[in-house]
Structure 1
């Protein structure tokens, strides 16, 4: 392979082996045009408001940082009951999308989604809701859709996947 191997050894001290190989550094793979558009278009999400419903404070911090870096204004809720309160408190159009965990204390994501979908104000009831859950089997995705959610993302969050889903919903 055009390299060298040097070996130095001293009794009772040890052995040093140096292997030198000349290799080219691989270039980073090209992103598809769609990924470039999503990843590099902060104006797509600028000023959009997301309600992030997550009971785990570390997950909330990470997701908030990701969303804010993408241009979102982020509001948070620690459980589904608080999310329903916030959605009904603010005027229609205040939130553009809701990202909601499934398993939470007080009120889970499925129940919160059903309550939001049954609100009298139909504009608020139609806010796009996306599940963000560690449960990522097909049956979990199906249950999310049956509860009235518009999508289902698996944890841990894959940034490009999150932005792609949000971009598809908000365009």
Structure 2
């Protein structure tokens, strides 16, 4: 799932992912992402790409809430922060919120693919 509030950024990220065969579901804010994840079948989503700064519910809060859900996949789903904030303290905040990785915008395709595949192939 791609959680991004800016329409253009959503479209670009979707194209990047779809070009390598990914099926992408989108959410425009953290609350919608949380609701879609919570309402899905367990293990439906392989990965969540999460913007940090969004209206309604920010990405850090959404990640923490997903990790708190009482579902088998809530602790295991890969959550990757996507943000323009790339300072060490921002990375730490993402990891402390339960995210697996932190990539900066603008999105570098190779970095995105590596972040997604790292957790997929490590079995986390």
TM-score in terms of structure 1 length: 0.69
Partners of 2:59 and 2:43 lie apart in 1 by: 21
Contact 2:78 2:116 survives alignment (8 Å): no
Return the structure number with greater strand share: 1
The aligned residue for residue 52 of structure 1 is 2
RMSD: 0.8
Deviation at 1:168, TM superposition (A): 1.0
* 1:116 matches 2:116: no
* 1:88 matches 2:42: no
Aligned residues: 121
Can you give the 5+ residue segments of structure 2 that lack an aligned partner in the other structure?
none
Which sits farther off after the overlay, 120-129 or 88-97? 120-129
1:100 to 43, 47, 50: 50
Q: Deviating runs (4+, > 6 A) in structure 1? A: none
Q: For 1:53-109, what per-residue CA distance to the aligned partner results, in whole angstroms no more than 9, with x for missing partners?
A: 000000000000000001110000000000000001110111000000000000000
The aligned residue for residue 128 of structure 1 is 78
* 1:64 matches 2:14: yes
- Which of the two has higher C-alpha Rg? 1
1:148 to 77, 92, 98: 98
Q: For 1:106-127, what per-residue CA distance to the aligned partner results, in whole angstroms no more than 9, with x for missing partners?
A: 0000000010000011323421
Partners of 2:16 and 2:53 lie apart in 1 by: 21
Can you give the 5+ residue segments of structure 1 that lack an aligned partner in the other structure?
1-50
TM-score in terms of structure 2 length: 0.95
